[in-house]
Structure 1
Amino acid sequence: MDFSSSSLDPRSSLSIGEKLCFVFIPFIGLFEALVYSLSGCFNVQPPKKKIYSTFNDIIVLARNSPFTVNEIEALRELYKKLSCSIIDDGLIHKEELRLALLRTTFGENLFLDRVFDLFDEKRNGVIEFDEFVHSLSVFHPATPLEQKIDFAFKLYDLRQTGYIEREEVRQMIMAIMSECGTQLEDDVLEAILDKTFKDADADKDGKIGKEEWKEYVVRNPALLNYMTLPCLKDITTVFPSFIFNTEVEDILWQLPGNHKL
C-alpha cells in the first residue's frame, strides 16, 4: 500500500472517506491478530485457577450477545489461554493483551492502550471474561451499526471528553502509521485533518460530537470497515479442534424463545 503524498493528495480521485479508510485499515489486522494469535497458546498447560463463568453465565452471555453458546465456550477457552500467558490469575492484564496483539510485552502503544481501556469496562485494571465477550461482540458481523459507531467514537475520544478533537485524530493516525513503519508527510496529514473536520464538524466548533460523528460515518461507511471481523461470525470454525460441552447446549435448548441453536 502506497502512503506517499501523491496517493493521499486531497486532489486525487479518492474520497476523503476512502483515504481515511486506508489510514485506519491496520486496526482490523490487530484485532484479527488477537483472535488468531490465541490459537498458538494451546500448547500451554491450562491454568490451575478456575474462576471462569458457570454454565448459567455462559447462557446469559449468549443471550445478550450475537455469539452462540458454543462460540461463548470457544471464547472462554481463548480467554483462559490468554489470561495465563504471563500472570496465571485467570484475568487478562494489559501486558497479556500487548503480547497477544503486538508479540511483545514492552513499549507504549496508543492504540493498545485505548483498546484495553475500552475492554476494561469495570475500570479495575484487568479484562474479565464477560468484558472480553462483550467487547469482542462489537466486532461481530451481526452487531448493529449503532454499537460499532459508538465504540469507534470512544476509541478516538482519547481524553474521554465526549468529543473527538483534532489533536486526538492526529495522535491516533501518527500512532497507527508508526506501528506500521510508515510516515505521512506533514502537509498530507494536515490535509486529511482539514478535510475531515470540514466534513464532520457541522457546527464548526473545532471538535466532533457524537451526533456529528454518526452522521459523518453514515456518509463514509468505509470508516467502519475495521469494526467488523468476519472470523467472529462462527469462532468455532477458526478452531475446529475444539470439543465443546454439550451440557450447556442441552440446557439452552430448554429455554423458551431461544433460536440461537
Structure 2
Amino acid sequence: MTRSEFANTFAMLPNSVFVEQMFDLIRKSEAETISFRELLDLLVIFAKGDAEDKLSLMFKMYDITKTGQLGRDRFKLMIRSVMEGLNHSLNTDKLGQLVESMFERGGFIEQKSLSFEDFMSLMKSNLNDIESACLVVKGIV
C-alpha cells in the first residue's frame, strides 16, 4: 500500500502530518509501501489497544530520533496532526498557547522535552478520550 492509498483508506490527505508520521512509523522496510501485515498491526492497536498502547504509538511517531524524548516542537507537531485528523485547525499562535498551557498544567514548564513517563503524565487527563480513539476506515461505518 502506498502512502497515498494509506491516506485514502482513512479519508485523510496524503501530505497531512499524521499520515506522513504514521506511515513512516509502521513501515518496516525501506520500500515506499507498507504491507498488509503492517497495516493490520496498526489497526489492532486502535481496535484493541488501551490508552497506553495508543499513547506509546503516538510518542514513537514523533520521537523520530529515537532518543526517548519528545521536544516541544515535536509535541506541537503531534498536537497539530491530531487536530488535523479531527478536521480542526489552530493557527501557530493558538497552537503555541495550547502547548504552553499543557506543559504548565503538567508541571513541565521548565522542560525542553518530555520522556515517555512525562508524556503519559501530561496526557493522563485525556485517557478516556484516548482509550476510545479509533481510526475510521473509509467506507466502513
- Normalised to the residue count of structure 2, the TM-score between the two structures is 0.72
- Separation of aligned partners in 2, 1:182 and 1:212: 25
* Matching residue of 1:138: 45
Residues 226 and 153 from structure 1, CA distance in 2 versus in 1: closer, same or farther, beyond 3 angstroms?
farther
Residues 153 and 177 from structure 1, CA distance in 2 versus in 1: closer, same or farther, beyond 3 angstroms?
closer
Which amino acid in structure 1 is aligned with residue 2 of structure 2? H
- Separation of aligned partners in 1, 2:36 and 2:130: 25
* Matching residue of 1:126: 33
Cα-to-partner distance string for 1:61-102 (whole Å, 9 max, x where unaligned) = xxxxxxxxxxxxxxxxxxxxxxxxxxxxxxx11122133334
Q: 1:207 aligns with which of 110, 113, 132?
A: 113
Unaligned runs of 5+ in 2: none
Q: 2:69 aligns with which of 160, 163, 166?
A: 163
Residues 183 and 103 from structure 1, CA distance in 2 versus in 1: closer, same or farther, beyond 3 angstroms?
closer
* Matching residue of 1:93: 2
CA contact (8 A) 1:201 1:208 kept: no
Larger Rg: 1
Pairing of 1:1-261 with structure 2 (within 5 A): 92-102=1-11, 108-140=15-47, 142-175=48-81, 180=87, 182-184=89-91, 186=93, 188-200=94-106, 202=108, 204-222=110-128, 224-225=130-131, 227-228=133-134
Q: CA deviation at 1:162?
A: 2.3
CA contact (8 A) 1:93 1:127 kept: yes
Which amino acid in structure 2 is aligned with residue 146 of structure 1? E
> Equivalent residue of 1:111, what SS?
helix
Range that drifts further, 218-227 or 148-157: 218-227
Cα-to-partner distance string for 1:95-153 (whole Å, 9 max, x where unaligned) = 2213333476xx6322110111122134433211221111110001x324332221121
Q: CA deviation at 1:219?
A: 3.5
Q: Percent identity?
A: 20
Q: CA deviation at 1:168?
A: 1.7
- Separation of aligned partners in 2, 1:116 and 1:135: 10
- Separation of aligned partners in 2, 1:181 and 1:227: 16
- Normalised to the residue count of structure 1, the TM-score between the two structures is 0.43
> Equivalent residue of 1:228, what SS?
coil
Q: CA deviation at 1:225?
A: 4.9
> Equivalent residue of 1:227, what SS?
coil
Q: CA deviation at 1:190?
A: 2.6
- Separation of aligned partners in 2, 1:124 and 1:174: 27
Question: Between Structure 1 and Structure 2, how many residues are aligned?
Answer: 138
Which amino acid in structure 2 is aligned with residue 116 of structure 1? F
> Equivalent residue of 1:139, what SS?
helix
RMSD over equivalenced CA pairs, Å: 3.3
Which amino acid in structure 2 is aligned with residue 205 of structure 1? Q
